[in-house]
Amino acid sequence: MKRLHVDRPLTLIRMEDEVDRLVAAWRRERPDLDVEPLEVLSRVSRLARHLDRARRLAFSEHGLEPWEFDVLTSLRRAGAPYQLSPGQLLTQTLVTSGTMTNRIDRLAKKGLVERLPDPSDRRGVLVRLTPEGRDRADQALAGLLAQERAILARLSQSQRGDLAGLLRQLTAPFDNIPG
Amino acid sequence: MKRLHVDRPLTLIRMEDEVDRLVAAWRRERPDLDVEPLEVLSRVSRLARHLDRARRLAFSEHGLEPWEFDVLTSLRRAGAPYQLSPGQLLTQTLVTSGTMTNRIDRLAKKGLVERLPDPSDRRGVLVRLTPEGRDRADQALAGLLAQERAILARLSQSQRGDLAGLLRQLTAPFDNIPG
DNA sequence: ATCGAGTATCTTGACATCGAGATATAAACG
DNA sequence: CGTTTATATCTCGATGTCAAGATACTCGAT
């Protein structure tokens, strides 16, 4: 009795997700609480986890881990000569300093980055992308974008714009205030 | 020459975030690529990381780690008698089976959950919340919701609804297709 | 009944992350 | 100047996560 392929505007199709089920369960178990915030923020967290998994798959074709991609592309984006301080890498990747030291060590061992002393601050260090590191970053980026386009395909151009704008409202305070 | 506190509708205020800078950098370095997907998905990933940090802080007041919260509240939502199989917990928390076994072990050691044999399938196990586990989950949830409301405060009611709807379009395929 | 495929959970070892503290240098202040 | 405070990075131990494989059970087909 199911009719498939019924023609109607994409925007009216509404498929349930785990968060719908989660919210319904809370409303049943804790009708005294207003759980509306979860509609947005639980979806953000869960989607991020799904994206992590998808990325891990996509990058494995290029022999990169997601954390390696994050560091290499931060340097790549900086433009020639492709170097940043560990501190600048921290704000871009949102990890702790101990983690970043460790990441740089491992990438250096693989020959994808190198450490240079900062000429203007003897406490500091500059991390520079090697030519091979740059190539790897460029290849993996192309693969990632293809995958992400597929994930976003069910939204229209203007919906993607709306979504980006709404998310910016939430990320901006974290990114600007020290947070 | 800057005029602060100019009165205008909230929706027109647009503060830059790290992703704006990231996208601008890619357009400069790789003008050949269309990096529009990053406007949405990089924001999702970064926001999730910020939320993780904020949650870790909020939960530490209740002596819980985020992963403990995730497991305990999954059981809490299930309703009395507050029990689920490890497999059901997997789909809710998006971790691997090895991770879940480890989590259950540690929560059991703390007395927040207990393992029972599944009466209808001798391969299976049921994880049940203890009364203390239930109290902890309820307390931490209230704290989390307060924090999340603060984070969402800069969006109007209808914007939050729009945002939830757009995110659902992206999460639904992951949650429904086996993905 | 028995076989074989499928399912549910656990085990294990490698590894990435975090948090707190250590070290070295720079900048601010009187 | 010399002292204090701030900054940049690294070290280290504890811990959580993952992937792959092992184990034990179920269920349908023969």
pLDDT digits (tens, 9 = 90+) for A143-171: 999 999 999 999 999 999 999 999 999 99
For residue B33, list chain A residues with Cβ-Cβ distance below 8 A. Answer: 141-142, 145
| pLDDT of amino acid B3 | 42
Note the residue count of chain A.
179
B8 — pLDDT class (breaks 50, 70, 90)? very low
A3 — pLDDT class (breaks 50, 70, 90)? very low
Can you list the alpha helix ranges (DSSP code H) found in chain B? Answer: 18-29, 37-60, 66-77, 86-93, 97-109, 131-152, 157-176
Q: How far from the centroid of its chain's Cα atoms is residue A111's Cα? A: 24
CB A70 within 8 A of CB A64: no
| pLDDT of amino acid B63 | 87
B175 — pLDDT class (breaks 50, 70, 90)? confident
CATH classification at residue B147: 1.10.10.10
Whether A74 is covered by a domain: the verdict is yes
Give the side-chain half-sphere CA count within 13 A for B171: 26
Protein residues with beta carbon less than 7 Å from any atom of strand D: A 53, 56, 85-87, 97-98, 100-102, 104-105, 115, 118, 121, 123-125; B 65, 67, 95-99, 102-103, 106, 121-123
Whether A29 is covered by a domain: the verdict is no
Q: If you average pLDDT over every residue of chain A, what do you get?
A: 90
| pLDDT of amino acid A14 | 76
A2 — pLDDT class (breaks 50, 70, 90)? very low
Average pLDDT over residues B105-111: 93
Average pLDDT over residues A100-114: 96
A176 — pLDDT class (breaks 50, 70, 90)? confident
- Count of domains forming chain B: 1
Q: If you average pLDDT over every residue of chain B, what do you get?
A: 90
- Residue A105 reports pLDDT greater than 60: yes
**Coil, strand or helix: which one is B115?**
strand
Chain B interface, best mutation among A33, A34, A47, A88, by max B CB count within 10 A: A47
CB A167 within 8 A of CB B43: yes
A179 — pLDDT class (breaks 50, 70, 90)? low
Whether B3 is covered by a domain: the verdict is no
For residue B76, list chain A residues with Cβ-Cβ distance below 8 A. Answer: 29
- Residue A88 reports pLDDT greater than 80: yes
Name the nucleotide nearest B96; use CA and C1'.
Answer: D18
| pLDDT of amino acid B178 | 58
Range of the domain at B101: 40-151
Whether B140 is covered by a domain: the verdict is yes
The span from the CA of B94 to the CA of A15, in Å, is 20
Q: Is the CB of A179 under 7 A from strand C?
A: no
CA–C1' distance B44–D8 (Å)? 29
Whether A161 is covered by a domain: the verdict is yes
- Residue B9 reports pLDDT greater than 80: no
CB contact under 8 A, B167 and A40: yes
The span from the CA of A63 to the CA of A71, in Å, is 15
Distance in Å, alpha carbon of A137 to nearest chain B alpha carbon: 12
Average pLDDT over residues B69-74: 96
- Residue A1 reports pLDDT greater than 60: no
Whether B75 is covered by a domain: the verdict is yes
| pLDDT of amino acid B136 | 93
Whether A132 is covered by a domain: the verdict is yes
Show Cβ contacts of residue B111 under 8 Å, excluding neighbours closer than 6 positions.
Answer: B130, B132, B133
The span from the CA of B127 to the CA of B81, in Å, is 10
Q: Which of residues 140-169 of B touch strand C (CB under 7 A)?
A: none
Show Cβ contacts of residue A29 under 8 Å, excluding neighbours closer than 6 positions.
Answer: B76, B77, B79
The span from the CA of A79 to the CA of A81, in Å, is 6
| pLDDT of amino acid A13 | 65
| pLDDT of amino acid B120 | 87
* pLDDT tens column, B31-70: 999 999 999 999 999 999 999 999 998 898 888 999 999 9
| pLDDT of amino acid B176 | 80
Q: Which residue of A has its CA nearest to B14?
A: A169
A178 — pLDDT class (breaks 50, 70, 90)? low
Average pLDDT over residues A72-90: 95
Average pLDDT over residues B95-112: 94
- Residue B7 reports pLDDT greater than 50: no
Q: What percent of chain A has pLDDT over 90?
A: 81
The span from the CA of A46 to the CA of B174, in Å, is 10
| pLDDT of amino acid A63 | 87
Exposed/middle/buried for B162, CB within 10 Å: 0-12, 13-18, 19+?
Answer: middle
Give a three-class secondary structure readout of chain A: CCCCCCCCCHHHCCCCCHHHHHHHHHHHHCCCCCCHHHHHHHHHHHHHHHHHHHHHHHHHCCCCCHHHHHHHHHHHHCCCCCEECHHHHHHHHCCCHHHHHHHHHHHHHCCCEEEEECCCCCCCEEEEECHHHHHHHHHHHHHHHHHHHHHHCCCCHHHHHHHHHHHHHHHHHHHHCCC
Nearest to B47 by CA among B127, B119, B152, B128: B152
| pLDDT of amino acid A44 | 96
CA–C1' distance B172–D14 (Å)? 37
Whether B85 is covered by a domain: the verdict is yes
CA–C1' distance A55–C1 (Å)? 48
Would you state the structure tokens that stand for residue B163, as one six-digit string? 């945002």
Strand partners, A128: A83, A114
